[in-house]
Chains A and B, each alone.
Chain A
Amino acid sequence: MLVNSSPSINTRRTLQIQDVGMVFPTKRGPFVALRDINLEVQRGEFVTLIGHSGCGKSTLLNLVAGLTTPSSGIMLLQERELTGPGPDRGVVFQNHSLLPWLSCLDNVLLAVERVFSEKEGKAQLRERALAALDLVGMSHAVAKRPQEISGGMKQRVGIARALAMEPKMLLMDEPFGALDALTRARLQDELMRIVATTGATVMMVTHDVDEAVLLSDRIVMMTNGPAATIGEVLRVDLPRPRARVALAENRDYVQYRKEVIDFLYTRHSHVEKAA
């Protein structure tokens, strides 16, 4: 389907999802989770997947992460077909998934070792881990265990672990969903700062409209499941850096927000189906 473009365009296409579908075999027969998913993510773009629960957005992210294999279609990461999970896609889970028997530094080191240990020595690996923790503002807690720090801090360490691998893409599955509103706001601002510094390409799943408009370059709105697909894609042209307080009164921000809410709550209001 894709035209062979000039090299300069090729290297900008970090992720290509072509005609991807996902069917799960269940006791009650095959369950079509996703159908006809087509999406491209450019280098340095921040793309958000938004939709109601059960719309398959997490399934789609899992496909990109390689934790599941699509039933149909192809996925390419920098022109190479995806074959399972790997450190080229850094994943940040909703449950931070930090190993409780390791310190924050060791948690990050686990990832760093995996990627860089062949070529680099212990000291260099340690420096990488420390730099990643510094980037997320967690230098003060390198020796602490996950139990000793707050939820927001744990999530920062999770982000540090993902970024420390220098992945081609950062994948985040409702990373701030389990946090209170204030912590969430702070981490969103942190994330914007980190992404601006690193130029990371990000794909994030959320069902928070404000979060989507604040953080994204593009918002991919998904229809309700089953057989969910992409309904509409909105380009957010707000200039960066984006300041939350100023944006609240920005007319354009309000427009974007209304558009997404309209999609979610007017046209695709989630209907609770009887099982």
Chain B
Amino acid sequence: MGRALLDTPHDVAEPADTPPVRRVRVVAVSTAAKAVPAPREPFDWRGLGARVLPPLGGLVLLIAVWALATQKSASFPTPLATFDAAVKLFSDPFYSNGPNDQGIGWNILFSLQRVGLGFGLAALVGIPLGFIIGRFTLFNRMLSPLISVLKPVSPLAWLPIGLLVFKSANPAAIWTIFICSIWPMVINTAVGVQKVPEDYLNVARVLKLSEWKIATRILLPSVMPYMLTGVRLSVGTAWLVIVAAEMLTGGVGIGFWVWDEWNNLNVAHIIIAIFVIGAVGLLLEWSLLAVARRFDYS
């Protein structure tokens, strides 16, 4: 059809071969083509299908296996039962019947709050520390071995110390988050500082910029991607740890709630909690990814 369209100018009879005439002919072709609306590109159903169907398929498969496995089970709830429980839970997420019995919404928020605090403190301490280690070899040599030794320690091993020092669950949990989030931040920031391209530093040198200007105008923006990677890594660990810490310390939070529901033998709620924890963790990741993309310069 398109080709037929382009063939029509032959009807525009201009037999002479002199250049001006030819030029007119060319113009005629393009205007003729424009007169007819271009056919719309068909919607990419196949592409959409390729992206959406497999995950959906996976989910369906999981539910199917789950349903099959729990058909005859007395202790493990079926997908349908779990769904019913979920509906009930999420219908009133913010109720409060005292400190140990709160809506799921509150629990999530409490956990997030602790993560936020511990995390924020870690950033406040870790990022400047990373700068110093990356920029000054002396500090690098001083602190690197220490960091290498402390880094692989499970954050939960730090929990008893936190309880001892702070004598209460909340600060201890925040302390645990702090200690587990700080390492990736320090290390990634330090690496980022060391990896600042020689070119940018040469620019700083030929302009003879002050140390402060170098830090703010060159190091900071250049290190940002590394820093954000560190932060993203920390967030994943932090969220993981808070659930475990809360299980151990009790009080409030989604981790505590999981343990509490285990004590109540409410397996459906535990399963729901798993999905909720996963979903929140994913959301945290996504939001940080979006932030990271904003600072990506390539």
Contact = CB atoms under 8 A, between A and B. Distances in A.
Contact of A114 (B200, B207, B218): B207
B209 A67 contact: no
Contacts of B88: none
A99 B222 CA distance: 9
Given A147-B297, A147-B298, A99 B218 contact: yes
A85 interface: yes
B218 to A, nearest CB: 7
A97 B221 contact: no
Contacts of A91: 202, 206
B207 A65 contact: no
A85 B205 contact: yes
Interface string A87-105: 1011101010101111000
B199 A110 contact: no
B22 interface: no
A84 B205 CA distance: 9
A250 to B, nearest CB: 36
The bracket for how many chain A residues form the interface is 20 to 34
B206 A87 contact: yes
Contacts of B200: 97, 99
A101 B225 CA distance: 12
A111 interface: yes
A177 interface: no
A155 to B, nearest CB: 13
B3 interface: no
Contacts of A145: 297
A97 B203 contact: yes
Given A99-B218, A100-B297, A101-B297, A93 B207 contact: no
B199 A95 contact: yes
B217 interface: yes
Main DSSP-derived SS at the A contact region: loop
Contact of B207 (A84, A101, A102, A111): A111
Interface in B178-210: 199-200, 202-203, 205-209
B199 A114 contact: no
A134 B289 CA distance: 38
Contacts of A100: 297-298
Given A100-B297, A147-B297, A67 B203 contact: no
A52 B209 CA distance: 33
Contacts, number: 50
B205 A97 contact: no
Contacts of A85: 205-206, 208
Nearest to B201: A97
A241 B165 CA distance: 79
B208 A86 contact: yes
A99 B217 contact: yes
A241 B172 CA distance: 76
Nearest to B298: A147
Given A93-B199, A147-B298, A99 B221 contact: yes
B220 to A, nearest CB: 9
B190 to A, nearest CB: 20
Contacts of B221: 99, 101
Interface string A108-143: 001100100000000000000000000000000000
Given A110-B217, A147-B297, A147-B298, A97 B199 contact: yes
A114 B208 CA distance: 8
Nearest to A101: B221
Contacts of A86: 206, 208
Given A87-B207, A101-B297, A110-B207, A67 B202 contact: yes
30 contacts: A65-B206, A67-B202, A67-B205, A67-B206, A85-B205, A85-B208, A86-B206, A86-B208, A87-B206, A87-B208, A89-B206, A91-B202, A93-B202, A97-B199, A97-B203, A99-B218, A99-B221, A100-B297, A100-B298, A101-B222, A101-B295, A101-B297, A102-B217, A110-B207, A110-B217, A111-B207, A114-B207, A114-B208, A114-B209, A147-B297
Which 10 residue pairs across A and B have the least CB separation, nearest first?
Answer: A100-B297, A97-B199, A101-B221, A91-B206, A85-B206, A85-B205, A114-B207, A97-B203, A86-B208, A95-B199
Given A84-B208, A110-B209, 11 more contacts: A85-B208, A93-B199, A93-B203, A97-B199, A97-B203, A100-B297, A101-B222, A111-B207, A114-B207, A114-B209, A165-B207
